[in-house]
Amino acid sequence: MRVLVAYATKKGSTAGIAQVIGEELSQMGLEADVRPVEQVRDVSPYGAVVLGSAIYMTHWRKQVLRFGSRYAGEFQGRPVWLFDSGPLDASADEGKNVPVKAAAELARQIGARGHVTFGGRLVPETAGRFTRRLMESGNTGSYGDFRNFDRIRGWARAIGAELQGTAGSTGS
């Protein structure tokens, strides 16, 4: 089966997650295409879709929401999963994050089989000047890479197993 792993990122963290998901699906014998949503012009060749976005200021990236809305009709009846990345702490691994409102609405609209939040990454080299000043003054978050790649790989394997008919739900 051919699987589209499409994403929107700002500084590359979400792209890294999408790449790992694609690699895991490929290792399971599925054909995974990992692409930014801006590069996807047709979803008809794909039997399943994994759609992800970075979270900024409690919002999904606009381009991924537009992509999801544009292809919502084609997603109906097709297995689709959503993921996002953003928390700059361990809250994602602890299951403490509530889905971003627009992502929850998109999940409902397209009948997504699951939605999960992964930690994000912020390093001084990729942070904007305003963000660096806030971080250095201790007013928000922390620098670091909070992506749990073991958890990401496990989630991708659960999707692959479901697509191959060997497992149940992959809701989180």
Q: pLDDT (tens digit, 9 = 90+) per residue, 8-38?
A: 998 889 999 999 999 999 999 999 999 999 9
Question: Measured between alpha carbons, how far is 113 from 124 in angstroms, rounded to an integer?
Answer: 35
Task: Give the C-alpha distances (Å, rounded to integers) separating 148 from 25, 27, 46, 70, 109.
Answer: 17, 19, 27, 31, 28
Q: Superfamily for 2-163?
A: Flavodoxin domain (3.40.50.360)
Residue 68 has what DSSP assignment? H
Conformational region of residue 54, where left means phi above 0, alpha means psi within -120 to 50, and beta covers everything else: beta
Ranking 75-79, 119-123, 164-168 by mean pLDDT, the lowest is: 164-168
Average pLDDT (90-103) is 85
Residue 155 has what DSSP assignment? H
Q: Is pLDDT above 70 for 56?
A: yes
Of 58 and 129, which is predicted with more confidence? 58
Give this prediction's pTM: 0.85
Q: Where are the domains of the chain?
A: 2-163
- The angle at the Cα of 166, spanning 161 to 172, to the nearest 5 degrees, equals 50
Q: pLDDT (tens digit, 9 = 90+) per residue, 60-70?
A: 999 999 999 99
